[in-house]
A and B are shown apart, each in its own frame.
Chain A
Amino acid sequence: MGVLRVRRYGVDLTSTSIRSLPGLAALAAGLMGLALVLALIVVAEDQDQGVSQRIFYIHVPIALTAYFCFGLGAWKALRLLWLGEERYDLESYVAIHQGTIFGALTLITGSIWAKASWGHWWLWSEDQLVLFLVLFLFYCAYFMLRFSLQEGSRRARSSAVYALFGVVLIPVSFLAIRLAENLIHPTVFTREGPQMAGSMFATFCIAWAAVTLLAYVLYRVELAGKRLDSDLRDLREALQ
């Protein structure tokens, strides 16, 4: 018996709602501002580490957000491979793009923290920092891969597979780096509970919410922008 292969292909003009974006952006900006003020000025200074610990409130949420973005990118990639719908390619790409940006910020804020705390701009002993360096390299290669392939199903699928590799690399690399160095990285949440006093914890949470919201807004903005670009090109071609 023959197998019927019927497929319909075409342009997906699903438009992302952009009406809510300006409001969300304002909220994100406001929350970021509040977080920065709280972290850098208002909250009490940590006895042990002094001023440098303040960067912590920004550094950790940025790192967590980067992880989340990579995870989101991998999820969208999985959806692409599973369901085959074109739009997941763009969503995956934008998520990973955001993740890479936040990853770079993690490295920068982490480096500042290292300098302020230990006197060096880079420390191989800092597991998280090293992990982010590896991931940053990995995801930069993601963009190189995309640039070298022509737009289309092939590129979408290869990118998706690579994005999945990335997210699997995170725990494996973490284990590897842990094994490679035994070291002290002040853990935020120990098993006994957060090491932070009430106000510090609150500041951390606000900062985390702010960074997450910022990332979400940036994601939506970039996605909408790219979709509009794509729609515009399709319209131009249709009119030719």
Chain B
Amino acid sequence: MIRGRGLERRYGRRRVLVGADIAVPAGGFATVTGPNGSGKTTLLRLLAGLIIPTRGTLEVDVERAQIGYLAHEPLVYRELTALENLELFGRLYRVPERRERIGMLLERFSLWDARNERVSTYSRGMTQRLALCRALLHEPHLILLDEPFSALDDAGATLLDGELEALAGERTLVVATHDPQRVARLTTTTVALA
């Protein structure tokens, strides 16, 4: 599903990703590891199609509508409530049976009680959970997660573990993380960036 060779991305004179290769079959679980600044985020953005490589070849066998992306940033509006955020993205991502799906996700990630409060009042953990809801809202075939565990508290991390468990094998996942051990049992491919 994903094939990338010799991927490179430059910002002006600075190279943030050099000679990266990645190959992930459909249903695979790829873990991207590497120190800070090695280009994990950049690689994920390339896969999402937000940026293009300055060098190399990239094949991503999936429509834009089928990609779910969890970035470093939460990608939600601070001044809107969880419900309003998911309503908007649900509409834009053409989620069928929007209300039910939103309700289900909010419940699953323990955000139902806070659904009518603005994101600006949320803790980091709550915001990250909402971001996850947003990324998974449209049941994407390709899920890209950039350091998903970083902002989560223990309860949230456990929720995510369960979620990843459920998704692995059914969907294609690419997870960038500092803590590859956590997802080691699910990993089918590892991409180590220098």
Binding site for B on A (CB under 8 A): 2-11, 150-153
Residues of chain B from 39 to 63 with CB closer than 8 A to chain A in the complex: 49, 51-63
Q: Which single member of A9, A150, A151, A153 contacts B56 (CB below 8 Å)? A: A9
Given A7-B58, A153-B51, 7 more A-B residue pairs with CB atoms under 8 Å apart are A3-B63, A5-B61, A6-B58, A7-B52, A9-B53, A151-B10, A152-B54
| B96 CB to nearest chain A CB (Å) | 18
Contact B55 A153 (CB under 8 A): no
A9 neighbours in B (Cβ, 8 Å): 52-58
Contact A5 B58 (CB under 8 A): yes
Tell whether B162 is near chain A: CB-to-CB under 8 Å.
no
Tell whether B121 is near chain A: CB-to-CB under 8 Å.
no
Tell whether B66 is near chain A: CB-to-CB under 8 Å.
yes
Binding site for A on B (CB under 8 A): 1, 10-12, 49, 51-63, 66, 141
| B92 CB to nearest chain A CB (Å) | 19
| B22 CB to nearest chain A CB (Å) | 14
A4 neighbours in B (Cβ, 8 Å): 59, 61
| Complex CA–CA separation, A99 to B66 (angstroms) | 45
A-B CB contacts (within 8 Å), total count: 44
What secondary structure prevails in chain B residues at the interface with A?
A: loop
| A207 CB to nearest chain B CB (Å) | 42
| Complex CA–CA separation, A30 to B58 (angstroms) | 52
| Complex CA–CA separation, A182 to B61 (angstroms) | 61
Contact B52 A11 (CB under 8 A): no
A6 neighbours in B (Cβ, 8 Å): 57-59
A3 neighbours in B (Cβ, 8 Å): 61-63
A5 neighbours in B (Cβ, 8 Å): 49, 58-61
| Complex CA–CA separation, A6 to B58 (angstroms) | 6
| B44 CB to nearest chain A CB (Å) | 16
Contact B61 A2 (CB under 8 A): yes
B57 neighbours in A (Cβ, 8 Å): 6-9
A7-B52, A9-B52, A9-B53 known; A152 vs B62 contact (CB < 8 Å): no
Contact A150 B11 (CB under 8 A): yes
Q: Which single member of A2, A151, A153 contacts B52 (CB below 8 Å)? A: A153
Contact A2 B66 (CB under 8 A): yes
A153 neighbours in B (Cβ, 8 Å): 51-52
| Complex CA–CA separation, A3 to B64 (angstroms) | 9
Considering only CB atoms, which chain A residue lies closest to B142 in the complex?
A: A2
Considering only CB atoms, which chain B residue lies closest to A84 in the complex?
A: B52
A152 neighbours in B (Cβ, 8 Å): 10-12, 54
| Complex CA–CA separation, A3 to B65 (angstroms) | 11
| Complex CA–CA separation, A62 to B62 (angstroms) | 52
A151-B12, A152-B11 known; A2 vs B56 contact (CB < 8 Å): no
| Complex CA–CA separation, A151 to B14 (angstroms) | 10
Considering only CB atoms, which chain B residue lies closest to A234 in the complex?
A: B55
B54 neighbours in A (Cβ, 8 Å): 9, 152
B52 neighbours in A (Cβ, 8 Å): 7, 9, 153
| Complex CA–CA separation, A5 to B59 (angstroms) | 5
